[in-house]
Structure 1
Amino acid sequence: MENLMVKYLISTFLLLTLLACTSGSRQATPVSYRSGIDLENMLLEESPGKNFHQYVNGHWQQYGVLPSELHQYDVFDELEQRSHDAILQIIERAARTRYGHGTDEQKVGDLYQSFLDFKRRNSMGIAPLKPVLEQINAIESNADFARYLAFANKADYNPPFALSVEIDLEDTSRYMLTTWQAGLGLPDKQHYLSDEQKYRDIRGAYRQHIVSMFELAGIEDAELNASKVIALETELANHHEDKPDNRDKNKLYNKFLYHNLPQIMPYFDWKEFVEDAGLSKNVELVVPQIDYLRGLNEMLVTTELEDWKLYFTWHAIHANANHLTQSFARQHFAFYGKTLNQQRAMRSAKWRAVNVVNDVLGDIVGKTYLKEHLTTQVSRSVQQIVRNQVFALAYWLDDIDWLDGDTLDMALDKLAEMQVQVGGPTIWQDYQNLEIRFDDYFGNQQRAAIFQYQQQLMLLNQDVDRERWQQLPQSVHVTYQPELNQLIIPTGAMQPPLYDPGADQAINYGAMGSVIAEALIASIDNNGRNFDDEGIYQPWWQNRDKREYLQLAANVAGQYDTLALSIEHETQLHAHALLAKAEAEAEAKALAAAKLLEEIDEENSSEQPKDGVGSDARDDENMEAPETETLPESNQSESLSQPENMPAPVNEEFPPINSSEEINTELTANVPDGSVPVEQQGSEESTDSSYDSSDGGSEQTNLPAPQFPMVNGVQTLDRSLSDINSLSVALRGYQRALSGRNGTSIDGFTGLQRFFIGYAQRWRTLYSPQRLEQMQQQEDYLPLRYRVNGAVRNMDAFYRAFDIQEDERMFLPAEQRVRIW
């Protein structure tokens, strides 16, 4: 193992050093570190052991103002707002200055201004789209039909099947061309086929939306035509395959040569489609959903051509709703923004204009953003966070007894070979062949869509370049790409409160560290366990690992099953548990006292003179056998050991999990096949296990358990596991950063306390009443406080940091705390 670790350590150092982006980085001036805690957001009168999320974020949750246009506002929205403001300054600098035609600055400024020129756009009405509508009306043959589908793919008009270029699952040095089922105006097939009232309501609103858009476009018989569009989409939805994103190569990786494509869709003119789509006749096309295309083939015969034309007309209008007049944009938002996503108001025109420039010319503004907002100091600091967490995770993996040797070796190999890129790419998109005009916003968008399509097709003739990013440096999300075994940390993510360059490292390990840890774990868990260290689709977990993982996951699901959805019910459960505990302790004391008295009586009686013959004589017939009572039997196995002291800062020992309990083998969330469970677990008689007695046993009590709506542990398992695992890895990374030292106290908090506060600050979120109501109606609803409280109560270090006592609401007996990674 030592040789393996040496190889791993060297590889990691090299990758982190060589792949961190230094392009445009600048050196910051030295800073004096502060705590990084937003003290004004805390509710210090709250007890950390009662509700840690409330303790850290309570004041912000009570007095924070939800932006008028948003239905929720969280830390990533904060980061996006800062990133957006910085990009706006870059764009407006370009818009205020006249640059030569064809320069990057000219394209940025003119695209921005063309979006904001609503006077010109409103005056043109539907006219910019009329050539497309005429092309649709001219469809008369199978060849015309295929040619239009090729155009709809180029223009991104949501055709019945879409083409995309992806990294090849069997050879990650090259790209593959793939189809994907598409063509629906609602999010998925359930929205068309379910009889639930909420879906019926959405379908009704969708129909009225199509009517309104047809009327704006001057389409006659809007009511009848809208009904025909929905009928056709419903039939398409019937053919859509369920959960096609399960990444099961055996089902999805179906490669066809050009001359074999008619085997799937014989009534479709593949010759015209391939030619007009700009594809070679030597093309190899991966078809993930074969049955869907066969169903689409049937529809080519059974569906009237005029209905297809109406369908194409609708999707051309729908795709361009935000590229035409303000009336189209407002109606589009009324349904997709308000009705479907509970957004309260449209974003400002400038905000939407910045998004347009980011979408079309993102690499141009991203290059400037990277130069102005990434310092060498920040880049190196984040690299060190990653390095410490990778080291800590690797060392811990060697001590996990449920991992098979082969699985362990592959996990270490993946961590050793992982590419970590910080800041931004070193290869940028060239926009030389994209024409942008200040007076043609619709044309700018159409040309941009075709330009991006052509850029994607060009990749088919190139090797995969691992330096090319699939996201912008101004984006705010850390991502892991399994096909490349690559971790991407963009500049936009490295902002407070996720990462604070002026803060002590404890806060940054709790916030940014847990986000990075989530991505690291994803490389060996979640979808990452289906891809080897070179990114090839090759599931590598052994069956024994799957079984052991299921057991640990079942323990987490069972733990969350005992959590009340409502905070008021949580309080009542805690009060009930304390009463039950007091009753059980009183009963135990009474039993012990009775037993002691019985023993005294027996001792006294043995000293009294005996009647009858001999000193051992006993009248068995007249003496009743003494009744004996025992303490309630503990439900915890005697073989469970207590947690040992942590031998090193990167190898904290947790108590082993009791694996003798039966588990539900249907539990499949986050298991190696990547599927997500939908089974509803019964929790009507659940009470919070954190309220049991300190020895982990379950006392019998005469108090009836309160019946409240509870968290569904199985349906929320993906999030609860992610929270517990990422926090555990981030903590070990922080401990490694300390190198055995204790963190300095700042602002009255120790380093360990600041670490947990940093994690909790990451989860502050505001919701609109409508958004919160929608979430509460979902079976997989997990109250936000449990993203914090549910994770920290599984960490031994949390109890030490805040001196959490057994009678506090968040207390969880040591033997019930779960640790997986």
Structure 2
Amino acid sequence: MKMEDLEQILPDRVGSLSGKRLILILGLLVGVLFVVCLTLGAVAGVALKNPPAPSISIPSGTWNEKMTAELKDAGVCMTPECMRSAAWLVSNLDQTVDPCEDFYKFACGGWQKKARLSPEISEVDVERQVEKDNELRVRELLDSPIKRNTERSSERKMKQFFQMCIHEYGRIKNGGQELLSLINDRVGGWSALDPNNWQGANWDMERALKAANTELRADALFSVTIEHYFSDDGNVPQVRYDGLTMFYRDYHDDDKSGMQDAYKDYMRRVGDLLLRDANLTLDASEHAHRIEQFVEDAYFMESNISRNIVKSYFASGAINSDSTVLLRNPTYFRLLDGLLRNESQSHVMKRVLNNYIVWRVLVEYIPHLSWEYRAASYRYRDARYGTSEYPATWDTCVYTLKKTMAPALAAEFLNVHVGKRKKNEVSDMMKTIMQSVNATIDGATWMDRPTKERAKLKMKAVTMTIGFPESYFEPRHLDSIHLALKVDISDGYIKNLYHLNSFRRELFTLELQSDDDYYTWQYILGVGGFGVIPWMFWTSNHMMVPAGALQAPLYVPDRPHALNYGSLGVTLSAEALVAISEMGRYVWTNGSFYDWWSDDSDEEYSTRRSCFLDYFDGAQLGPFLINGRNETVEITGGYTEAWRVIEYLAGLRNTYKAYKGHVMKSGEDEMPLGINLNADQAFFASAAQAKCYIRTDEAAYQQAVRGIPSYDTILNGALRHMKEFTNAFSCKKTSRLHALSNSTCEIY
């Protein structure tokens, strides 16, 4: 190793090692290199000529243990987590870039060179990679042997379903036959199988609609979710229009005729396959007529959707005449009621409704049928979205379990990959971050005293769910949640999928009636235990931190706090501060709508914000290579950019204060060997590297045109106004990101 190579891995910027410590480490490195050379020489000799291995005498209390102890005494972190984190951080840097000119490129340039986009993917970022890694971890867990193989075991039910789901041969063998049997049993049959003898007069539309929505989860005509209010009503059902595949405007937009044709072709192909799997003997003309009638009916209903039946959506007793139900789009349901009340008794209208409901069931179940059915949906998606990226079978299976067995799936992931230690450590870090908020509010000179006091009350009232409920470590509790779920491998895959979809009704009922925190359920049912992105429900003053975010490189125990505060802490802090932002100002501690900013504070804030607006207004984004030409996009107004930078800068500065408070209390971090940055610099680099991304020029251009600021714009825009960054990197006054006192914008 040459001296210049050593210089690349040893600190030489602000806060570098003292001379005595540097001499000690260099001496130890020389010893390491000497032994490594001897070892490599021995290995090479064995590989090439196989001579006797040289005898090397190592004294008791080996040099390796002694060297490790001396490095630790010198303030170097030698844990495996430290070394892996150092490798991650350094490999992502582009040290040819001056951090004071383009910090995003300095921090993420190395990552961008390594990252790859496949032809069907337009964007990749660190958080998405972590989520994908979490999904792979989940798949490995689902593939592992069943530990609790009992009739009641939620683990058994989940893993057995997964194995049936990924069994491609079973799908090919059965085609659509199992689904046809289910449609006949639960929906009252399909009129297209025998239109001349179909008993429309005896077909029960309400029974079919109930089965489609509650048992088959097809969301025909409407859908129901749970909404939370701070009133005595608590958790209440929310009913809204649904039952469409395309965006509602696309059915009537003349400019979308190509998309409409592609959608009808999708319906036609699926209908063809289903008639084939019904083993009917039809001539070509009759076959085509039945398919066209099916497509016409289903498309007609999707074009004219309206009405609501919700009473039987939940299990018995969940809703009664005194229950509060939130009805979205009431005009839509009045129109639907008129349509069905006047025409549903006619034979033709019953046939139309039957074909529509069957189609909605098909849309829900197509991802679980043989490849031919899925190929029809992929063809349509390609025409609609211009994408050829399709989920792997196992990915669809995990997604299905996430919707139907989220508690059990989350528990499996949490027990192996998170644990209580990570949750407790992140909770402690978040407490430190929240403690620094009062100082951040006190430093906000645009707030008058009454507004500051209300801001502190608002932040004090923020509630938080980090990771998971403790009950997820109790198998008996999980088994009790999934007690009503039946999974039996002798029933076949589609029948078991039906059981899972029916079980979602029980989960909805449990969510509605449970004493558990509503946001715990949002976490359980929404991200399945391994989501990554923390978010703030600013309308209800509650923050969610998914357990999937407690994974490397976002959070790693036993590594320097500077890295964890930077990578995960900044995101958490920025989300929490939304509670007192220009959005959070309109909601009070109890969730009621109330503008608690004073007029004077509002006026001063607007003045401060205009500084950020002026900074971005007229700036050029790009160039982007579009159709062989370099295109740029000019930022007009800069409102979105300013808002995002204000939000991120507040989180960055507040977290930096929290980290420095931790250092004051607990002392400086031991930094890993090889990081060419001091602790403060590593904090900023870690914050940046949590958001590294690459995207195609076309995707970047479309984002810019739509006014969606990229992370490099947000990061560099924030650091340009942060004196702490300028000091950490000793930026020259002439550098692009130097926070000049006479031109720095500041709110928090």
- Tell me the TM-score normalized by structure 2: 0.74
Matched, 1:216 2:256: no
Deviation at 1:329, TM superposition (A): 2.2
Which of 345, 356, 371 in structure 2 is aligned with 1:311? 356
Matching residue of 2:6: none
The corresponding residue for 1:709 is 633
1:726 maps to 651
For the residue of structure 1 that corresponds to 2:639, the secondary structure is coil
Cα distance in 1 between the residues matched to 2:296 and 2:619: 45
Query: 1:427 is paired with a residue of what secondary structure?
Result: helix
> Which of 313, 318, 329 does residue 289 from structure 1 map onto?
329
Deviation of 1:212 (Å): 2.5
Residue of structure 1 aligned with 2:211, choices 151, 168, 178? 151
State yes or no: 1:491 paired with 2:524: no
Secondary structure, counterpart of 2:152 in structure 1: coil
Q: After the TM superposition, which segments of 4 or more aligned residues of structure 1 sit over 6 Å from their partners?
A: 29-32, 268-278, 740-745
Of the candidates 486, 501, 506, which is equivalent to residue 562 of structure 2? 506
- Partner residue of 2:302? 233
Kindly tell me: are residues 771 and 278 of structure 1, through their superposed partners in 2, closer, same or farther at Cα, counting changes over 3 Å? Answer: same
Relative to structure 1, the CA distance from residue 395 to residue 269 in structure 2 (aligned partners, 3 Å threshold; closer, same or farther) is closer
- Deviation string for 1:77-112 (max 9, x for gaps)? 2212332232223212235x7923332232122101
* Post-superposition CA distance 1:295-326 (Å, at most 9, x none): 33344347972443333232111111112222
Q: Give the match for residue 393 of structure 2.
A: 349
Amino acid in structure 2 at the alignment position of 1:709:
V
The residue number in structure 1 matching 2:279 is none
Q: Does the C-alpha gap of structure 1 residues 293 and 407 become closer, same or farther in structure 2, counting only changes over 3 Å?
A: farther
Where do 1:593-608 residues align within 5 Å?
none
Task: Specify the code of the residue in structure 1 equivalent to 2:617.
Answer: D
Moved more, 303-312 or 279-288: 303-312
Separation in 1 of the partners of 2:691 and 2:228?
33
Offset, 1:516: 0.4
Identity score, percent: 18
Kindly provide the amino acid, as one letter, of the partner of residue 400 in structure 2. V
Match of 1:444 in 2: 496
Distance 2:190 2:643 in 1: 45
**In terms of mean alpha carbon deviation, does 310-319 or 717-726 score higher?**
717-726
SS in 2 for 1:422: strand
Equivalent residue for 1:42? 93
Q: Which residue among 786, 800, 815 is the counterpart of 2:713?
A: 786
The question of 1:162 aligning with 2:197 is answered no
- Residue 633 of structure 2 aligns with an amino acid whose one-letter code is P
SS of 1:43's partner is: coil
Match of 1:480 among 528, 536, 553: 536
Instruction: Give 3-state SS (helix, strand or coil) of 2:99's partner.
Output: coil
CA distance in 2, matches of 1:545, 1:299: 52
Q: Comparing both structures, which one devotes a greater share of its residues to helix?
A: 2
Matched residues in 2 for 1:404 and 1:140: separation?
A: 70
What CA deviation, in whole Å up to 9, does each residue of 1:553-572 have, x standing for no partner? 44433322233121589xxx
Alignment partner, residue 382 of structure 1: 426
C-alpha distance in structure 2 between counterparts of 1:753 and 1:290, whole Å:
55
CA distance in 1, matches of 2:677, 2:502: 55
Matches within 5 A, 1:355-366: 355-366=399-410
Cα distance between partner residues in 1 of 2:155 and 2:163: 12
- Offset of residue 512 of structure 1: 0.4
Which 5+ residue runs of structure 1 have no aligned equivalent?
Answer: 1-28, 240-264, 570-705
What amino acid is the match of 1:367?
A
Corresponding letter in the other structure for 1:112: F
- For residue 519 of structure 1, what is the aligned residue in structure 2? 575
Q: Which whole-Å CA distance do the structure 2 matches of 1:191 and 1:432 have between them?
A: 42
Alignment match, 1:105: 155
Q: Does 1:171 align with 2:99?
A: no
Q: Name the structure 2 match of 1:797.
A: 724
The residue that corresponds to 1:629 in the other structure is none
Q: Deviations over 1:148-178 (max 9, x none)?
A: 3333321321222212222234237x32122
1:518–1:726 CA contact under 8 A, matched in 2: yes
Question: For each residue in 1:333-391, what CA deviation from the matched residue of structure 2 results, as whole angstroms up to 9, or x when unmatched?
Answer: 3333x455555433333333333333332322422332222355533432232122111
Aligned 8 A contact 1:418 1:487 in 2: yes
**Structural mapping, 1:199-598, within 5 Å:** 199=256, 201-218=258-275, 220-221=288-289, 222=291, 225-226=294-295, 229-236=298-305, 279-300=319-340, 301=342, 305=349, 306-336=351-381, 338-341=382-385, 343-375=387-419, 377-403=421-447, 405-428=449-472, 429=478, 430-439=481-490, 440-465=492-517, 468-471=520-523, 472-482=528-538, 485-525=541-581, 528-536=584-592, 540-567=596-623
Shift of 1:737: 2.1
Q: Which amino acid aligns with 1:437?
A: D
1:201 Cα deviation after fit: 4.6
Q: Could you tell which deviates more after superposition, 496-505 or 39-48?
A: 496-505
Q: 1:69 offset after TM fit, Å?
A: 6.3
The superposition leaves residues 724-753 of structure 1 with CA deviations (integer Å, 9 ceiling, x where unpaired) of 332232222223222297777762212221
Give the direction of change, closer, same or farther, for the CA distance of 1:103–1:805 in structure 2 (3 Å limit): same
How far apart are the structure 2 equivalents of 1:339 and 1:812?
A: 48
Matched-pair contact (CA < 8 Å) for 1:379–1:422? yes
Identify the range of structure 1 (735-744 vs 470-479) with the bigger mean alpha-carbon deviation: 735-744
Moved more, 432-441 or 342-351: 342-351
| CA deviation map 1:702-740 (0-9, x unaligned) | xxxx99521342355553443333223222222322229
State the Cα deviation string for residues 267-290 of structure 1 (Å, max 9, x = none): x77888899997423333221322
- The two structures, once aligned, show a CA RMSD in angstroms of 3.7
SS of the aligned residue for 1:162 comes to strand
Tell whether the 8 Å contact from 1:143 to 1:272 is kept in structure 2 after alignment. Answer: no
Distance (whole Å) between structure 2 residues aligned to residue 273 and residue 508 of structure 1: 44
Partner of 1:757: 685
C-alpha displacement at 1:185, in angstroms?
0.8
- Structure 2 partner of 1:76: 127
* Secondary structure of the corresponding residue to residue 320 of structure 1: helix
Cα distance in structure 2, aligned partners of 1:709 and 1:49 = 24
Kept in 2, the 8 Å contact 1:393–1:732? The answer is no
Q: Which amino acid aligns with 1:65?
A: R
User: How many Å apart are 1:147 and its aligned residue?
Assistant: 3.4
The superposition leaves residues 737-779 of structure 1 with CA deviations (integer Å, 9 ceiling, x where unpaired) of 2229777776221222112111210121233566446545x42
- With 740-749 and 516-525 compared, the bigger mean Cα shift is at 740-749
Distance in structure 2 (CA, Å) of the matches to 1:339 and 1:401? 53
- TM-score of the two chains, using structure 1 as the length reference: 0.67
After TM superposition, give the deviation of residue 136 of structure 1 in Å.
Answer: 6.1
